Amino acid sequence: MKILVAGASGFIGSALLPHLVSEGHEVTQLVRRAPRTSAEAHWDPASGRLEPAIIDAHDVVINLAGAGVGDHRWSTEYRRLIRDSRVDTTTTLAKAMTQAARPPQAFVNASAVGYYGDRGDQILDETAPPGTGFLSEVCSQWESAADTAPDGVRIAKCRVGIVLAPDGGALARLLPLIRFGLGGPLGSGKQWWPWITLPDIVRAFAHAATNDSLAGPVNFVGPAPARNADIVASLARALRRPAVLSVPRFALRVAVGELAGDILASTRAVPGRLQESGFNYRHNSLTAAAAWAAGEP
């Protein structure tokens, strides 16, 4: 298949591109600068510019674009960037599809489990309504922008969970602390974290690109959500380190600001539609995921 990818230079995208190529797909990366190879195409989502002819040449569009939620403290300006970098890019892609002579077969658009907000112990499948708060509002607008793609295009709205990896992602700050024996649960540690490993999230996006049964919201999370304390304990065991120094809520808020509320949120999302579609996990248990994230083969 010919696949067009936006946001390909990010944490997930940089792993997805080589995976798609290894599966035999022809991949084009959207870039904001001048293209350097035939595998790149120019766009300017800030001004809503993308030539419809670029869409014509592809069977599937995958959109991963968006500023990192945890990259900076949430000033008013950065909150706007978080929203605009998602909604504007998605709107630009959907508009170009509408104008294209040959719209793609599928639009695989990232979203996040932040859609559900803080929901305690409630089990959340794809039919659960949105929660409240900034990230929930952003995800709702993000998904609504994807829905403006033209009729006939299969739209998969992929609600990405907490991605575990040896470097980058949710563990970028936590794993080094655990390695030095300074890690521990965040807040009470009782909040549910819907984890998934980087290899599985990459495989899930590739699966969604080619599986016609995946449309509408799809929870891109592992098969067994776990509490934060259990995830930290599993990582510590894999690294053969203690994990007893919990990070209190107030300290986390001092360190990361408003983002602390979302780190401490409890989101027990489950992958109903992904599993129903026949997706098989490489890491289907927290033990296996923690061992891989800790650097074991």
Determine how many CB atoms are found less than 10 A away from the CB of residue 176. Answer: 12
Task: Compute the 3-state secondary structure of the chain and give helix, strand, coil in percent, each to the nearest 5.
Answer: 40, 20, 40
Residue 179's identity, in one-letter code, is: R
pLDDT digits (tens, 9 = 90+) for 79-107: 999 999 999 999 999 999 999 999 999 99
Residue 24 CA to residue 80 CA, distance in Å, equals: 38
- Which pLDDT score, from 0 to 100, does residue 293 have? 93
Range of the domain at 31: 2-293
Determine how many CB atoms are found less than 10 A away from the CB of residue 15. Answer: 19
Using DSSP, state whether 31 is helix, strand or coil: strand
More confident residue, 170 or 63: 63
pLDDT class of 172 with cuts at 50, 70, 90: confident
pLDDT digits (tens, 9 = 90+) for 32-68: 999 999 999 999 999 999 999 999 999 999 999 999 8
CATH code, 253: 3.40.50.720
% of the chain exceeding 70 in pLDDT? 94
pLDDT digits (tens, 9 = 90+) for 279-288: 999 999 999 9
Residue 194 C-beta-side C-alpha neighbours within 13 Å: 31
Q: Tell me: pLDDT of 260 over 80.
A: no
Number of domains forming the structure of the chain: 1
